[in-house]
Amino acid sequence: MDFGFSEQQRDVQNLAREILNDNVTAEKLSQYDDYKAERFDRELWQKMAEAGLLGVAVSEEYGGMGFGFFELALLVEEAGRTIAPLPIISNLISAALPIQKFGSAAQKHQWLPGVASGELILAAALTEIYNDDPAHPYLTTAKAEGDGLVVSGEKTNVPFAHIADRILLAAKTVDGVAIILLDPTADGVTLKAQQVTNYEPQFEVVLNNVRISTSDILVSGADGQRAMQWIAECSTVALCAHQLGASDKAMRMTASYTAERKQFGVLISTFQAVGHRAANCFIDVECLRLNTYQAISRLDGGLDATNEVQIAKIWAGDVGHRVSYAAQHLHGGTGIDRDYPLWRYCTWLRHNEMALGSSAKTLAKLGKRIAAGEAFCS
């Protein structure tokens, strides 16, 4: 059995790597530091659209390539490798992918062509204060009114909400969960800017009796929770893929540095302690790669992936933490020099770790599943 990438997967990966490597540099990233400018490279976004990469998982009838979640996740990994200033996860995975899977024909025709062409931006509001489970919203509620819904509540840390044409979010209803496409300019919607350590534009979205028409309801009722669980798992694994790309880059940057830096006239890469720590980083990154690809593969194949997603989530948080610390340690003072690019990777690795949530808490959830016979048992 061939466990390697298919030709089309390698083509997507190589194309994304080429475009991102050519267009994302430390000099360009520096313009977004400390919120000096909005962290969104619109020119690069259009180049990605012209190359067809924004529509990699959009059906061909809507202007996309017609590939699947695996190819899209490889794109996210390359975005992590360059920490590109683009809304790839929130737009393509957390919002457009659910429309592709759950949307009506009218909704697909309305949104997917614009996503593939780069003309439309979608966002997703998956986080509530003190609630790390997007499939069970409790601060955001919806009640039926006429043919539509009236929604109130709040979501936090919503990327690119201020330029989004629609924001996907879940609200609790009397019969389950409603997944809606919120117009951020609608009456009753307030956006409050939040500052985060990686300088990505994020917002708190407050809803006060916002009316939602039936055309903007993606899923509702008993199916809503299952759909939101799938969205949450895809989004989590995408963040793991981003963490994989960033960790791999930080590890390789460190390997290159230690192979050139001399102390006492000797390359520090020849020091046993340095070699051991760098080797541990390599092992960590490869373990994260294996577990992330396993979760991606199962989601791409339509299989249950809850266990695999939780395992990848644990590894992503821990590996990002360990690789960041090791990279800083092996670089010495250079690692925290803001004229050297490593610090941005360490910032993103830490941000992703926090966004994924506590690895210990996720490990406890996995342990409960194993104890209940819901994991690795036939």
- Residue 204 above 80 pLDDT? yes
**One domain, residues 162 and 276:** no
Instruction: Reduce the DSSP state of residue 343 to 3 states and report it.
Output: helix
- Indicate whether 87 and 215 sit together in one domain: no
Share the mean pLDDT of the chain: 94
Residue 75, domain CATH: 1.10.540.10
Calpha distance 263→55 (Å, rounded): 49
Average pLDDT over every residue of 120-141: 94
Shared-domain flag, residues 248 and 263: yes
Q: Which helix (H) or strand (E) element contains residue 312?
A: helix 306-331
**116 vs 258: CA distance, rounded Å:** 42
- Given this model, what pLDDT does residue 264 score? 84
Domain boundary among 170, 204, 220: 220
Same-domain status, 230 and 216: no
In a domain, 158, yes or no: yes
For the stretch 143-195, pLDDT in tens is 999 889 999 999 999 999 999 999 999 999 999 999 999 999 999 999 999 99
Structural domain containing residue 19 = 7-120
CA-wise closest residue to 216 among 118, 115, 119, 147: 147
Give the chain's largest Cα–Cα span: 78
Give me the count of residues in the chain: 378
pLDDT per residue as tens digits for the range 40-84: 999 999 999 999 999 999 999 999 999 999 999 999 999 999 999
Q: Which residues pair with 365 in a beta bridge?
A: none
Mean of pLDDT values over 235-258:
96
Looking at the fold, whether 254 and 361 belong to one and the same domain comes out as: yes
Confidence of residue 1 (pLDDT cuts 50, 70, 90): low
Q: Quick one: DSSP state of residue 155? A: E
In a shared domain, residues 268 and 315: yes
Burial tier of 36 (Cβ tally within 10 Å: 0-12, 13-18, 19+): exposed
- Whether this prediction's pTM lies above 0.85 is answered by yes
Confidence label for 322 from pLDDT (cuts 50, 70 and 90): very high
Give mean pLDDT, residues 317-323: 97
Domain co-membership, 242 together with 309:
yes
Is there a domain that residue 66 lies in?
yes
pLDDT value of residue 378: 46
299 is a domain residue: yes
| Residues 6 or more apart whose Cβ sits within 8 Å of residue 249 | 80, 81, 82, 345
Three-state SS across 39-60?
CCCHHHHHHHHHCCHHHCCCCH
100 and 233 in a common domain: no
Of 120, 136, 154, the domain-final residue: 120
Nearest CA to 200 out of 84, 121, 95, 118 is that of: 84
Residues forming a β-bridge with 180: 169, 217
Total of domains in the chain: 3
List, in sequence order, every beta strand (DSSP E) within 13-165. Answer: 122-125, 141-145, 148-159
Same domain, 241 and 321: yes
Asked whether residue 376 is assigned to any structural domain, the reply reads: no
Whether the predicted pLDDT of 377 surpasses 60: no
pLDDT, position 375: 81
Query: Quick one: pLDDT at residue 209?
Result: 96
Same domain, 167 and 196: yes
Please state, for a pLDDT cut of 70, what percent of the chain lies above it.
98
For residues 81 and 250, the answer to whether their CB atoms sit within 8 Å is: no
Q: Give the integer Cα–Cα distance in Å for 351 and 72.
A: 22
- What is the pLDDT at residue 220? 93
